[in-house]
Amino acid sequence: MQKRVLTTRENLPGNGLDRLSAAAERVAWPGDGKPGPADLAALAPGVSGILALGNDPVDGALMDAAGPSLRVIALASMGFDNVDRTAAAERGIVVTHTPRVLAETTADLTFALILAARRRIGTAGASLASGSWGLFRMHDYLGLDIHGATLGLVGYGQIGRAVARRAHGFGMRVLHHDPYAPDDDLSTSVELSTLLTESDIVSLHVPLTDETRHLVSTRELAAMKPTATLVSTSRGGVVDEEALLHAVREGRLHSAGLDVFEREPMGTELSPLVAEPNVVTLPHIGSATEATRAAMVDLAVDNILDVLAERPARTPLPGSPAVPGAPAGTAGVGA
């Protein structure tokens, strides 16, 4: 009997879904918006695999709705905080994600945020568009230099290293804090306290876990220079948004660049950070190029097809087995 696979969207970039449909019966949430838990649960009975986006919750209830046939949950994302990994492990389900394929693209976007926040590009562009640029004055739109600055990377996996490579082109000094990553030719490993006090730009590249939730909050922001910039392309929950808002409004932090938020998507109920002139905000577009998003879907499909063919998954999550029911693996992840 042909296996069935649930995809949480009907249309995704690239031709990965065509390959999946050729190998398995595919059922999909037909709506254009985000499906609710009940929507997915109604489609799940009897499926062997689930392909989900990074903000679609995949909990034990959905796994139970699928039943014992469920063998693999493939995320078309690098992050994995939307999956109940404990529930998956208890049921012997493989959980995969998409490292490597989005590292360079996300590093590009990280540097775009650094440039935009430090050089006040958003404020200056808005002034031009509103017709406020009536005079040339030496003290208008003054930002801070990127070249020669110190960049601190919290998390030094694939994306962090890609950002470090770009930083060297700007003549930057690079520090990183990551218990699993020693010094290399790009960056020096330091304690988090040292990184916060010495860096002109702090860029976050860690997954969202119980340990990293609100990793940057009031105490960490107070340790940073008042001329510093905080950038995050990781997960919104890594930053305490209320603490960041106060730090920027009170002049205790120069600027911030955020591609991720604690509540996504926002709709019309915007975070107050969106309106702050010294905060550059984007709607989670770190991996949003045609080639990269297609590659993410392709890798998610490859993981599903491998597991359904009784081959090891290519990119299982840390702690997830590569084949259903096997002991948990130890494969690492660099954000």
Q: How far apart are CA 120 and CA 214, in angstroms?
A: 26
Say which of 235, 254, 293, 314 is annotated catalytic.
235
Question: Cα(first)–Cα(last) distance of the chain, in Å?
Answer: 38
Is the pLDDT at 330 greater than 80, yes or no? Answer: no
Residue 161's pLDDT band (cuts 50, 70, 90): very high
- What is the DSSP annotation of 243-275? HHHHHHHTTSS-EEEES--SSSS-TTS--GGGG
Determine the pLDDT at residue 327.
Answer: 64
Residue-wise pLDDT for 243-282, tens only, equals 999 999 999 999 999 999 999 999 899 999 999 999 999 9
Determine the pLDDT at residue 219.
Answer: 98
Is the pLDDT at 86 greater than 80, yes or no? Answer: yes
Residue-wise pLDDT for 18-68, tens only, equals 999 999 999 999 977 789 899 999 999 999 999 999 989 999 999 999 999
If you average pLDDT over residues 313-329, what whole number do you get?
A: 84
Q: How far apart are CA 5 and CA 308, in angstroms?
A: 10
Closest by CA position to 263, among listed 235, 286, 293, 243: 235
Say which of 104, 198, 262, 264 is annotated catalytic.
264
Other C-beta atoms lying within 10 Å of the C-beta of residue 188: 13
Q: Are 202 and 221 in contact (CB under 8 A)?
A: no
The 8-class DSSP code of residue 34 comes to P
Residue 2's pLDDT band (cuts 50, 70, 90): confident
Residue type, 216: V
Q: Answer yes or no: 264 catalytic.
A: yes
State the angle between helix axes of 121-129 and 103-118 in degrees (0 to 180), rounded to the nearest 10: 70
Determine the pLDDT at residue 328.
Answer: 59
Burial 239-270 (b: 16+ CB within 10 A, else e): bbbebbbebbeeeebbbbbbbbbbebeeeeee
Say which of 26, 71, 176, 284 is annotated catalytic.
284
Q: Are 227 and 218 in contact (CB under 8 A)?
A: no
Residue 224's pLDDT band (cuts 50, 70, 90): very high
Is the pLDDT at 144 greater than 70, yes or no? Answer: yes
Q: How far apart are CA 8 and CA 34, in angstroms?
A: 8
Is the pLDDT at 331 greater than 60, yes or no? Answer: no
If you average pLDDT over residues 126-155, what whole number do you get?
A: 95
Q: How far apart are CA 113 and CA 240, in angstroms?
A: 19
pTM of the model: 0.93
Closest by CA position to 62, among listed 80, 39, 94, 32: 39
Is the pLDDT at 110 greater than 90, yes or no? Answer: yes
Number of continuous H segments (helices) and E segments (strands) in the chain? 11, 12
Q: Are 205 and 180 in contact (CB under 8 A)?
A: no
